[in-house]
């Protein structure tokens, strides 16, 4: 009987040890699986926040571009008026608004540049640069150059084309995410 008790105890110890080892391995695997799952969830949340942040930046730039475009139409109309003190005063006020709106579009373009991706950022900065001919034409109008409205009006096509290019780049970036 003594041998059978030793064998029983040995088998029980071996079985118990195996159970403890199996439990430890399972626990370790479960912990690792939980950590991996948490990392995946955190990565998905970061990606979604980036996607929403980019989308908001794109929309803000598009909105600001349209607001600036509306201001440009007002300036174009004013540039076509005959020379007068009223025209000069109106043009000076519009010029001040143009500068203020440029600051906003510049900020929007910089946010897109920060958010990325590179193609959308490049398109945003190109859009921002298309506002310069408008500024130059208004300055010329303030300086009394009578044909400044022609240079101003010629800037519309590149401006709207740059907006289309930006929208295309933003759409492509948004769809890839």
Q: Is the per-residue pLDDT at 60 higher than 80?
A: yes
Q: Report residue 31 CA to chain centroid gap.
A: 37
What integer best gives the mean pLDDT of the chain? 89
pLDDT band at 91 (very low <50, low <70, confident <90, very high): very high
pLDDT band at 2 (very low <50, low <70, confident <90, very high): low
The Cα–Cα gap between 94 and 138 comes to 9
CATH 1.20.120.30 fits 49-176, yes or no: yes
Residue 83 is classified by DSSP as S
The Cα–Cα gap between 53 and 55 comes to 5
Quick: pLDDT tens for 131-159. Answer: 999 999 999 999 988 888 899 999 999 99
- Helix, strand or coil for residue 82? coil
Q: Is the per-residue pLDDT at 3 higher than 70?
A: no
> Structure pTM?
0.77
Q: Is the per-residue pLDDT at 43 higher than 60?
A: yes
Q: Is the per-residue pLDDT at 23 higher than 90?
A: no
Helix, strand and coil content of the chain, in percent to the nearest 5, comes to 90, 0, 10
What's the confidence (pLDDT) of residue 119? 95
């Amino acid at each position: 009987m003594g041998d059978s008790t030793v064998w029983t105890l040995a088998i029980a110890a071996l079985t118990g040890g195996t159970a403890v080892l199996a439990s430890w391995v399972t626990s370790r695997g479960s912990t690792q699986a939980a950590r991996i799952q948490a990392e995946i969830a955190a990565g998905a949340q970061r990606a979604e926040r980036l996607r929403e942040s980019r989308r908001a930046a794109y929309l803000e730039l598009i909105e600001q571009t349209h607001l600036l475009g509306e201001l440009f139409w007002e300036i174009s109309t004013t540039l076509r008026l005959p020379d007068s003190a009223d025209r000069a005063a109106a043009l000076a006020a519009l010029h001040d608004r143009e500068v203020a709106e440029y600051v906003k579009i510049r900020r929007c373009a910089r946010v897109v540049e920060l958010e990325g991706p590179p193609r959308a950022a490049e398109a945003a900065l190109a859009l921002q640069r298309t506002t310069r001919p408008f500024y130059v034409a208004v300055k010329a109008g303030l300086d009394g150059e009578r044909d400044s409205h022609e240079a101003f009006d010629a800037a519309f096509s590149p401006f709207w084309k740059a907006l289309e290019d930006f929208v295309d780049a933003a759409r492509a970036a948004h769809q890839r995410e």
